[in-house]
Structures are given as structure tokens and as C-alpha cells.
Amino acid sequence: MSSLRAYRQIVRRPSRKIYVGPVAVGGDAPISVQTMTNTLTTDVDGTLDQIRRSAAAGADIVRVSCPDEDSTKALKDIVAGSPVPIVADIHFHYRRAIEAAEAGAACLRINPGNIGSEDRVREVIKAAKDYGCSMRIGVNAGSLERDLLEQYGEPCPDAMVESARRHMRILEDNDFTNFKISVKASDVFLAVAAYQALADACDYPLHLGITEAGGLRGGTVKSSVGLGMLLWSGIGDTIRVSLSADPVEEVRVGYEILKSLDLRHRGVRVVSCPSCARQGFDVVKTVATLEERLAHIEEPISLSVIGCIVNGPGEARETDVGLTGGGGGSHMVYLAGNQDHKIGTEAMVDHLVALVEKKAAVLAAERAAARAAADEPK
């Protein structure tokens, strides 16, 4: 193993494996990407539109809030029309959890301590077992139990982990271990410290998130810092980037975080320069256009777009397709790290899109052939 490869290797924390529908979470499963709809759940068509767009962007799992009975009634149609497993977000009323399980939810997001007596918790657990649901214990710094706040004086990692332990014990005492856990906070330091402590305290899969992170730009930065620290240290089995934005953007940011750490490989990874007076074409405009036009690509492909020859050839050697700006409106195109041909500015974007799409088609065919070979009887 080269020194660079060894330096980049992330050893994930060992954890149990559970399933959210057909999606494995924990164990040796890939780190899954989640988002949550922000439509009214009773708006079935609008909610399904968000779910389908999120799934097309790569969402493995989508969460839907179920605050009332009308929402759980609508959930049945949403589950039936969804291309990905649905997590029902439940707070306070245990009946909503039972109704969501009956409606086909793949997972119930609850805090066992806030849905009532032990008898009610047992009813929810029975429904989860009867309908094959997993659960997520969702601890949040903004809604910790009053006695824990009095004991610790403020939200802190110890209080959050103690809250998680309480909820874990409730499920374990009722012979239910098919769950994952989150300990979210809007403060990056608090969230990271709580997850680190929880990772040492149990072997259940962990759902990562910096809750209420903010808008698209600020929330992306906060989530990247917090989730990046945890993922780099091997902690985390599924993630949700919480943004005050379109859920599709949460999915895109989630994948960019995972791709930057070499943990998931989906879509085009663009390497581009910030541009300067040396640029041979408008790098900023070109990259924005390429990102939009290549958003449909699912195969893992790397593309470098560099405005001049200072760093362009070096970056191109490491990418599947590369472009380096040259003088007189003539730019060098690299394929598999090698100089291949030149292209003019006007035809440049269409040409790069075509090259990436061609590469994606080859990779998709290879993947299909490998899958078919694996399915052949031995």
C-alpha cells in the first residue's frame, strides 16, 4: 500500500447491521444518505414529488413527518409510490407510530421516553415487530428531558448520551434491538463530542447529523465540518444533512461529503480551480454549467476543469476526463490522465458532457455485466 493510500484509509467503527426496508445500515454496508420532506404529508402528490426528486439525486432513505392521523393515513399512499424506504417521524403520540407501521413505514423515528407509559411503548414495539419496522432513537440537544437538564445544568455530551442510554434500555428491555441512534445538536462541538461518546458506549448503528444547521451555504459548511470530523474518524453509518433548503440539496451535499472522504462513489466529482488572470476560459461559468448538466450521472467519474497549464496537467493525470485551458481559445483534453486532443471554447462544454456520458455508459455496462455474472448459477 502506498503511503498516500494508507494516509487516506478510514477504518469504520464496528457496529451491528439493521435494515430500513431493503437498505442496510451499519456493519459493512455503505454509509447511506438520507433527507426529509418539507411538504405537508397530507399533500401526497407534492410529497411524492419531493421523494422522487431526492431519490433521483441519490437518497437511499427519506423521512416523512407524521404529526397527526391525517398524515399517517396519507402515508400509506406515499409508501406505495415511493422508490425508496420511508421513515415515519413520530413525536409524542404513540398511536401515530402504530398507524405508521401499519401504513408500511420501513422505520419509526421516535424517542421512546416521550410517547407515554411503558405499556404504550410496548404497543409501538409490537407494531414494529409485526410489520417489520426498524426504529431510530432520536436524541436532540434542544429537547432533552427536564431532569437531565436539571442534573447537568445544560445540554452537554454526557446528558445526551444518558438520554440515549435510557431509550436504548426501554427497547432492549422489550427484546427489541433493531434500531439505530442519533444524538444531534446545532452546535458542532456538542454534536461531535456526543457522537464520539456514544460510539464508545454502544455498538448500534449511528445516524449522523448536525441538526438545524442553517441555510444552504452556512448549513453546508457546518455539516461538512461536523460530519467530516466524525466520518474521518470512522464514526457514522447513515447521514442526513439538515438544511433550510430543497431536500435535493441535502442529498447532494451529503454525497459531496462522502465523496470527499472516499466513502461513497456516486456521480461526477469535479476538480476545478478558483480561476485567475491566467485562465484560458471562464472557469466559474463553465464549472457551474457542467455541474448542472452532469447532475444526472450516477456512475463514479472524476472530471478536472483547470483554467491554465500551471496545475492543469497534474490534476488531469488523476482524473478520468480533464480539461486544461490554453492560449488562443484552444484547450487540451485529457482522457485517463493522458493528453488526447484539443477543443475550442465554444464546443468545450458540449464536448465534455459527451465524454463524461460516454464514460458513464461504459461503466454502467461493466457494472451490469459484473452483476449478471455474479447472479449466474455456479
- List Cα–Cα distances, 350 to 148, 217, 286, 337, 346, in angstroms: 59, 29, 11, 20, 9
| 346 assigned binding-site residue | no
Cell numbers that stand for 2 in this block:
502506498
Q: What pLDDT is attached to residue 96?
A: 95
Tell me how far apart the alpha carbons of residues 266 and 26 are, in angstroms, rounded to a whole number. 19
Tell me how far apart the alpha carbons of residues 70 and 87 are, in angstroms, rounded to a whole number. 17
Query: Three-class SS of residue 154?
Result: coil
Q: What is the pLDDT of residues 159-196, one digit of tens each?
A: 999 999 999 998 999 999 999 999 999 999 999 999 99
Percent composition of the chain: helix, strand, coil (DSSP 3-state, to 5)? 50, 20, 30
Residues pairing with 183 in the sheet: 139
Neighbours of 17 (CB within 10 A): 12
Tell me how far apart the alpha carbons of residues 367 and 354 are, in angstroms, rounded to a whole number. 20
Question: Whats the size of the chain, residue-wise?
Answer: 378
What burial class does residue 273 get, using C-beta atoms within 10 Å of its C-beta: 0-12 exposed, 13-18 middle, 19+ buried? Answer: buried
Q: What pLDDT is attached to residue 5?
A: 62
Residue 163 near residue 145 (C-beta atoms within 8 A): yes
Residue 197 near residue 172 (C-beta atoms within 8 A): no
Q: Based on C-alpha coordinates, what's the Rg of the chain?
A: 23
| 133 assigned binding-site residue | no
CA atoms within 13 A on the CB side of 253: 29
Residue 304 near residue 315 (C-beta atoms within 8 A): yes
DSSP state of 30: P
DSSP state of 233: T
Neighbours of 235 (CB within 10 A): 21
Predicted TM-score (pTM) of this structure: 0.90
Q: Which domains does the chain have, with CATH numbers?
A: 13-260 (3.20.20.20), 268-375 (3.30.413.10)
- pLDDT < 50 regions, the chain: 1
Q: What pLDDT is attached to residue 122?
A: 87
Which contiguous run of DSSP H or E holds residue 184?
A: strand 179-184
Cell numbers that stand for 14 in this block:
464496528
Query: Three-class SS of residue 39?
Result: coil
Q: What pLDDT is attached to residue 1?
A: 41
- Centroid of chain to Cα 271: 21
Closest CA to 256 of 274, 271, 234, 236: 271
Nearest 5°: the CA angle 251, 140, 195 is 75
Residue 59 near residue 34 (C-beta atoms within 8 A): yes
Cell numbers that stand for 56 in this block:
433521483
| 308 assigned binding-site residue | yes
Closest CA to 223 of 245, 207, 236, 208: 208
- List Cα–Cα distances, 9 to 4, 13, 25, 81, in angstroms: 9, 13, 20, 39
Residues 6+ apart with CB under 8 A from 270: 287, 290, 291, 303, 304, 305
Residue 24 near residue 185 (C-beta atoms within 8 A): no
DSSP state of 274: -
Tell me how far apart the alpha carbons of residues 20 and 81 are, in angstroms, rounded to a whole number. 17
Strands 330-335 and 321-324: antiparallel
| 273 assigned binding-site residue | yes
Q: What pLDDT is attached to residue 4?
A: 54
